[in-house]
Amino acid sequence: MIDYQNLRIGILGIGEMGAAVGGQLRKLGCPVLVDLENRSSKSHNRAALHDLTPSTFNSVLSESVLVLSIVPPKEALGVAKRAAEFLSTSTRKPLYVDCNAVSPDTKKAMEIIFSEFGISFLDSGIIGGPPSTFYNPTFYISGPSQLITIFSQVSIPSNPSSEGGLKIKVAGDQIGAASALKMSYAGISKGYFGILAAMTLSAKRYGALHALLKEFSDNSPERLDSVAGLSDILRPRVHRFDGEMMEISEFLDGSLDFESGDVEGGKVVAGREGLIYEGFAALFGRIARGQMGEGIEWDELEDISRIAKEMKEAERL
């Protein structure tokens, strides 16, 4: 039997995902500490909703057995460095699990930083959205088996007496495997959103949007469905996508840097397939700024999704 009441968990990052994950752990009976220093009223409200204990960055690290980092991708490495710096002089060192959408190379850099100070580290990638009453995302993890065993204490019990716990699957025994899986999955799913956004925006600006959507309706109705739902998908999360796209770009450049690269001017050069995702990062950044009133792309995308929805509705009549 696991004594959940003495399995204190710390969470760095109190966005929708971090707060909901904390709620799942509270349902197991684990005390959950969250860093609420200088955080907004929304963050405080999320913590209260899920019965999470307000704390500070340093206290989350020093008072927890297990710490989950669930922050925006562009902040993940900086948070890891800050945590390692504090824990380097602490007598109590938790297992640090980075759950962020960053590249395998970034996770390996974190591993080096933490190992220098004797801090245990696991790689995790979350597939899916925030947990809810009827849904759990999957936490893929990779690293040493003994550390996976520790983290697995918070998995959904085989004979659950509550709705708590995390859905955990092992991706491999090396740091980088879980993040490689996450990068691959997100590159496909969010890359598709990027393609839809880029191509429909371009079609609209050249007066071809209605013809494109009609072609989807006639021969690829699932794509019309995707366009109709695009603004709803992007609205709450596109502000996080630019950092994640840059991590996927780094992942591709590393994984596809074959010895037999392209030939330019008689010389073999490394490929830059990651540039695809740098383009998506720029596009998602513009869309996110449009949500803040600093561009027209967001308003255009909402209009595109509206037109697609109206076309679908008209065809039902």
Q: What is the pLDDT of residues 266-280, one digit of tens each?
A: 444 556 788 999 999
pLDDT digits (tens, 9 = 90+) for 17-75: 999 999 999 999 999 999 999 899 999 999 999 999 999 999 999 999 999 999 999 99
CB atoms within 10 A of CB 143: 26
CB atoms within 10 A of CB 132: 12
For helices 209-219 and 221-228, the axis angle rounded to 10 degrees is 130
Q: Tens digit of pLDDT for each residue in 217-226?
A: 999 999 999 9
Tens-digit pLDDT profile for residues 168-196: 999 999 999 999 999 999 999 999 999 99
As a whole number of angstroms, the distance between CA 39 and CA 160 comes to: 34
